[in-house]
Structure 1
Amino acid sequence: MGITLRTATMSDLPIIVDIYNQVIPGHQVTADLKPVTVDQRRDWFLAHSADHYPLWVIVNGDLIVGWLSFSAFYGRAAYAKTAEISIYLDRSVQGQGIGSQVLEMVPTKVTLAGLKVLLAYVFSSNLPSIKLFKKFGYDQWGFLPAVAELDQRPNDLVILGKHFD
């Protein structure tokens, strides 16, 4: 059975936070160093809107197995058609092709949200995510050396981007 995307509701926030918190201990995916709480993520959740910066849950059968969001890139009007893309999958489904299924749906979602450019911020050590985005035509647009410190080691940030016209 294929996956579907459903607009996230506030009642989904606990599972969204749980999935996000799963990757924190590995220090490969996010710059957060300790788990976040539902209360800490409430304003982030409310900053998303179905019509411009949407947040979806990824549903497989009747289970939420991840989430996808388009978030504001930079708080100035000229950047309104550019968004940051984030995809997080529950550890139980990683490596099963769900990330590819989600990225296949993204072009339609970008158009519906009135966006033209997506940017993905990925640590250089997160090779599976870099490979996934490159598979779907995202190119490296930026490289910020040693801007993060994870486990007392510097980590680079790769910025991948794609135009949708």
Structure 2
Amino acid sequence: MITYHNATLEDLPFIVDVYNSTIASRQVTADTVPVSVESRLEWFYQHNPQNRPLWLIKYQDQPCGWISLSSFYGRPAFYKTVEISLYLDQDFRGKKIGQFMVDKIEQFAKQAGIEAIFSYVFRHNLPSVNLFKKMQYQQWGLLPKIAELDNVQRDLVILGKRLD
């Protein structure tokens, strides 16, 4: 029912569309206007199947979202720490796809030698906060009123999990 594969360049327009679909809610991303496929090329190429995957997710053979692990801070001492990102098309939310995929990418991360995963989440994004808490992520940090979306100051929480 839920499958995934390493994303290809041909998948990037879909990945960008799903990402852009979350902007209007002002809950998921700090971007306030849609991004272009071209602007996401460097980000795309920062991923690799060995230890920084970008997976296209399918539900009943339909593309429904993506999940990735990205390097943190670009310094060698943080090599075993990654940031997780998960974006699902709104029509596929609430089907436990997120839980399934977080579990799968955690299994992958352990095998790849990753020791810690974290996510930056707006505190008012309760679906994401609840997902990560359900998956045993803990609050590692709080950045109060760090973002402003439509004249409203928003908190950013850092949710993390040790894999060792």
Same-fold call, TM cutoff 0.5: yes
How many residues are paired up?
164
Aligned to 2:54: 55
How far apart in 2 are the matches of 1:107 and 1:17? 23
Work out the CA distance in 1 between the residues paired with 2:114 and 2:12.
24
Q: Distance in 2 between matches of 1:9 and 1:103?
A: 20
Q: Which amino acid aligns with 1:142?
A: G
- Whichever residue aligns with residue 121 of structure 1, its letter is Y
In the aligned structure 1, how far is the partner of 2:76 from the partner of 2:96?
A: 36
Q: Aligned partners of 1:21 and 1:84: how far apart in 2? A: 19
**1:115 maps to which residue?**
114
8 Å Cα contact 2:146-2:155 kept in structure 1: yes
Tell me which residue corresponds to 2:18.
19
Provide structure 2 residue ranges, at least 5 long, that are not aligned to the other structure: none
Residue of structure 2 in register with 1:133 after alignment: 132
The AA in structure 2 aligned to 1:123 is F
Mark the runs of 5 or more structure 1 residues left unpaired by the alignment: none
**Root mean square deviation of aligned Cα:** 0.9
Is the 8 Å Cα contact of residues 7 and 55 (structure 1) preserved in structure 2?
yes
* Superposition pairs of residues 145-164 of structure 1, within 5 angstroms: 145-164=144-163
Residue 106 of structure 1: SS of its match in structure 2? helix
Hey, what's the Cα distance between the residues in 2 that align with 1:18 and 1:113? Answer: 29
TM-score (norm 1): 0.96
* Aligned-residue identity in percent: 50
> Shift of the alpha carbon at 1:149?
0.4
Q: Which amino acid aligns with 1:46?
A: Y
